[in-house]
Structure 1
Amino acid sequence: MAGIWAISCKPCELACVRQEVHARDAEAQLVRLASSDNVLSLIEADAGVLAGMLCSTSDLADDEAVSLIERVAKLVTCPLIVMCDRLDPGLIARLFYAGATEVVAGGSSSSCEPVSSKEACAKGALRQATSAGAVAHSKEPAKSASGMDAYAEPARQVHDRTAFHYASSMTTALDEPDGLDEPDELGRSDELEEPDEIDGLDEVASRKAMGGRSTSSEPGAPVICAIAGRGGVGTSSVVGLMAATAARMGLRTAVIDLDLMHGNLPALMGIDDPVDLARLLKDSDSVSETAIEATAMMVSPGLTLWGSLERPELAESMGTAVEQLIFALRDPADVIFIDTSVAWGDAVAAAVAMCDRCLVVGAPGPTQPESAARIAQLAARLGVARTKMVSVLNRCTASSLNEEFALRFEMALSLHSRVRIPDGGSEVSGLLSFGRLEDLARGESRLTSAIQTCTSSLLKELGCAVPEGFGKPSEQDSGGLRIRLPWDKAGEPR
């Protein structure tokens, strides 16, 4: 059955709207709603009926459009496209922050073409990219679907993955004549080389707009990036466990430790002699295949790690190298996990800007909700839509955490996707102290069950092939913490 798209626009915009929707879903059925109230009524009645929504701002005030997208984003996970009748960087940023997955130029005063990256960079509208990554749509309608939400990506095939060793798989992927030997192949346009127009975090956002996705015909590996407002919340442990779980599913998993100054993922994964990521800097223009192979650390079959630095003072010079590394890994890998630091540099900003899912990790602490909310706002300013963010509350069964704190943390983030990971107790710290993270991931506990469930659900959303039944929550974990009382239902002692 063809998907149903709700549209809200003026009659004179119908042809333009139909063109945009059919470029993304050729079989879509359009239902035009006369007002924003009708849109909300339809969604509240049955949110699952929609395959997508396109709303025009031409007959809405800015605040009304932002409010509508914000309310709809809390109810659905389908693509939310906004057609703007003017190029207003402030409005575009607010729409993405509210939850829009894509903003295109349109309206009665335009030719209904997607916002081009050249125009956007020149005028400062650096949030016109889709949150999924690829942006500068072609002016040909058939190609304007390149910015579709990751939810709509077809499941990628799982090949024979008895072991994912970067050196063998990357040789096949990068030995093409049009590979990544030239920096121009990284999806950046000539405009980005002009420092007058872009600088700082805005440059990172525009780079995401120009090439957050692989340039190959097959979608590149999704990028899952974990961020935190404060240190010590278990971000590295969560990333490592999720990566080890993905590798156990048969996916070729790449992990990048971008806590470049004080990263400890190699130690958690049992790497006794970590390789210095600074070797990527040997080539002045671009990161070579040889350098990427030289810095790869094979943790186990299917799991390969990059990072961090022997000399922390080099962290600020790693931005471009890390960005090129992520681009290069999108072809040979099936999924990329990235750990980050609390203090962001260019490398972390680039990774967050091009990610497909952003995990906002927190744990019990007096100011955790406020810190997590600030770091989520920073990610949103880099162009990551809030529909791509996931609230991850770690150690949610710790003695210092109660339900009131958990709700306060989740309300501060106000994200549709929420995950709670239980505390693993002394066993976790003991195994991690000796670099036995994989042993922990293979164990049977409430912690590993929650990690498996979360990872499985996340990878399915991103189009990865997950074995049937893997990560299915057990009856023991489905209802939260269970307490055995000393008497039965009838009040008799056990």
Structure 2
Amino acid sequence: MSSIWLVSCPPEKTARVRHEIEGIEPAAQLVRMGTGAEVAHVAEQMRGGAVAAALYECGTGAAAEPVVDHLAHACGVPTVLVLVEQLDAGCIARLFLAGATEVIAAGGPAASRDGDAACTGEGPEDVLRSEPPVDDKRFMPGVGASADAREVLTGSDAPDAPVRPRPPKIASVATPSVPSESASAPCDAPMPSQATPAPQPAEVPAAPHDSEPPAAKAPAHASARVEEKGDQPSAPLVVAISGRGGCGKTTIVASMAWCAARMGLRAAVLDLDLMFGDLYRLMGVEQACDLGRLVRDEDSTEIPLEAIEQTAMRIAPGLTVWGPCALPEHAELLGSPVETLVSVLRQEADVIFADTSVFWGDAVASTVSHCDRCLIVGSAGASSDASASRAVALAARIGVPKTRMTSLFARLGAQGCNEERAMRFEMSVGLRSHVRIADGGTSVSELLAYGKLADVMRGSGAFVRDIQAFTQELVRELGCPLGAWDERQRMAGAHDQGRSRIKLPWNR
């Protein structure tokens, strides 16, 4: 038997709430009421039945806290869904504490960008938010549900309204308890030790980019489809390729994605070394989610949105990874699913980074051909120059102009990777855009072997400085939103100007 959902929302938001509920329970029956007090009163009368509740809050959700607490504890409602238009980390945390099982960002672009950080109260973004005062008064039922304030919405009886297909939620990863970092280190988000997705009810999925959804009605079983470019603003795609393995390509991609998340961007990472990729291990994940779950039908161009959620690995707020396959033999079936995945992530992320294998399949070729920047990674090696040149030629043949390519010489300063060797690589590749990344030494390689990418990026060596500088320059060139990051940097610079430049032995 399907559940009865008691809904409190403005009439113009009914279609949005109904769409979110159908994504959770397609056969649910909805009863809309005027206020949260009426929802709680009816839920108390129906105690013990198959009842769920959904509340739509035009503000931060502070007013819904006592209602949620009463529904979850006094009425015993197992599922309490809250949609908020203005994200506030403190309010969302209190909603979960009160008993909400899921909080959804229903606001505009600002809510979408901060959704991941707000759902956990931590993350690369260290934006100060003013929290509304907490109402200490508990909810006391006493207002009945009037007949004119109620409205049954089931199936085709509900009014038609333009609804955007539900965006995929980013699956959380079970994270070990670690001490919280100070506010002065916004990037020091904990790294997970396992990649087992957490229960979905405590999720804050990314909000649509538009305050009003486009005119397209989607059923509850909506699947992700490849969208035509130019319909909506899309996240830039950065792909790293090389002519041979072992040149540091995976380390470069993982480090750049971490820096992008630190700057407040929603960074999606694809490990397209589908057979034997290990990018997830660099980020501290012990067991990867199988990207092969995206394969449904060899000839199908559709994948369920639930499959995208199930294959996501949440590394830190603002940083999520997909790939590789658990069974290497499934790699050749992922050409079309990966293309669809990239299309979905272009609408949900701020920037996408993709690591590739030396041997290209359909998935790699399609991703490279649609990239906004192609990094040709090379390092020391007898055949590094010749193989990199062939990789450039192949990328050009599948439609990537050389103006979108950048040669990246890794491990500068290591044995056999001097200035002369780097210049020889750049001349062989023949690209006008080039960058060099310093070698991190044995300390970096040892930390990465144990999945301590966070510890590496907290350092201040030449490798970290080069990665940070190149990432910031690249994402800014690609048009990623860095307004919040620039403002924090400006405020930090103004704060430092007031400090003394001399060091006195105060502690002696």
TM-score w.r.t. length of structure 1: 0.55
| AA matched with 2:205 | S
- Say if 1:166 and 1:304, in contact at 8 Å, map to a contact too: yes
Question: Match for residue 263 of structure 1?
Answer: 277
- The worse-fitting range, judged by mean Cα deviation, of 240-249 and 436-445 is 436-445
* TM-aligned CA distance change 1:178 to 1:377, over 3 Å: farther
How far apart, CA to CA, are the structure 1 residues paired with 2:489 and 2:242?
25
CA drift of 1:469 comes to 8.9
Question: Match for residue 241 of structure 1?
Answer: 255
How far apart, CA to CA, are the structure 2 residues paired with 1:335 and 1:177?
27
Residue 411 (structure 1) aligned with residue 421 (structure 2): no
Residue 394 (structure 1) aligned with residue 402 (structure 2): no
Deviations 1:195-252 (A, max 9, x none): xxxxxxxxxxxxxxxx4x3532xx2000000001000001100000000000000000
Question: Match for residue 166 of structure 1?
Answer: 170
SS in 1 for 2:113: coil
Question: Match for residue 431 of structure 1?
Answer: 447
SS in 2 for 1:449: helix
Question: Match for residue 473 of structure 2?
Answer: 457
How many residues are aligned here? 290
| AA matched with 2:238 | I
Question: Match for residue 234 of structure 2?
Answer: 220
- The worse-fitting range, judged by mean Cα deviation, of 348-357 and 278-287 is 278-287
| AA matched with 1:186 | V
In structure 2, stretches of 5+ residues that fail to align are: 1-108, 120-168, 172-203, 491-508
* TM-aligned CA distance change 1:178 to 1:407, over 3 Å: farther
Residue 308 (structure 1) aligned with residue 324 (structure 2): yes
How far apart, CA to CA, are the structure 2 residues paired with 1:358 and 1:462?
12
Aligned pairs (5 A) from 1:287-302 = 287-302=303-318
- Say if 2:115 and 2:206, in contact at 8 Å, map to a contact too: no
Question: Match for residue 379 of structure 1?
Answer: 395
* TM-aligned CA distance change 1:414 to 1:469, over 3 Å: farther
- Say if 1:161 and 1:250, in contact at 8 Å, map to a contact too: no
* TM-aligned CA distance change 1:458 to 1:376, over 3 Å: same
How far apart, CA to CA, are the structure 1 residues paired with 2:474 and 2:391?
21
Q: 1:231 aligns with which of 239, 245, 248?
A: 245
Question: Match for residue 338 of structure 1?
Answer: 354
More helix as a share of residues? 1
Question: Match for residue 364 of structure 1?
Answer: 380
SS in 2 for 1:395: strand
Question: Match for residue 21 of structure 2?
Answer: none
Deviations 1:105-129 (A, max 9, x none): xxxxxxxxxxxxxxxxxxxxxxxxx
Aligned pairs (5 A) from 1:108-257 = 159-163=113-117, 166=170, 168-169=204-205, 172=208, 177=217, 181=222, 185-187=225-227, 211=228, 213=229, 215-216=231-232, 219-257=233-271
Question: Match for residue 444 of structure 1?
Answer: 460
| AA matched with 2:278 | N
Question: Match for residue 277 of structure 1?
Answer: 291
Question: Match for residue 325 of structure 1?
Answer: 341
- Say if 2:116 and 2:205, in contact at 8 Å, map to a contact too: no
How far apart, CA to CA, are the structure 1 residues paired with 2:307 and 2:116?
24
What RMSD in Å do the two structures reach over aligned CA positions?
2.6
* TM-aligned CA distance change 1:265 to 1:214, over 3 Å: farther
How far apart, CA to CA, are the structure 1 residues paired with 2:230 and 2:317?
24
- Say if 1:228 and 1:362, in contact at 8 Å, map to a contact too: yes
How far apart, CA to CA, are the structure 1 residues paired with 2:487 and 2:421?
32
How far apart, CA to CA, are the structure 2 residues paired with 1:371 and 1:235?
14
- Say if 1:456 and 1:471, in contact at 8 Å, map to a contact too: no
CA drift of 1:442 comes to 2.0
CA drift of 1:344 comes to 0.2
In structure 1, stretches of 5+ residues that fail to align are: 1-155, 188-210, 473-494
Q: Identity across aligned pairs (percent)?
A: 46
- Say if 1:276 and 1:308, in contact at 8 Å, map to a contact too: yes
SS in 1 for 2:474: helix
TM-score w.r.t. length of structure 2: 0.54
- Say if 1:260 and 1:307, in contact at 8 Å, map to a contact too: yes
Q: Which has the larger radius of gyration?
A: 2
- The worse-fitting range, judged by mean Cα deviation, of 159-168 and 300-309 is 159-168
- Say if 1:259 and 1:339, in contact at 8 Å, map to a contact too: yes
How far apart, CA to CA, are the structure 1 residues paired with 2:287 and 2:208?
27
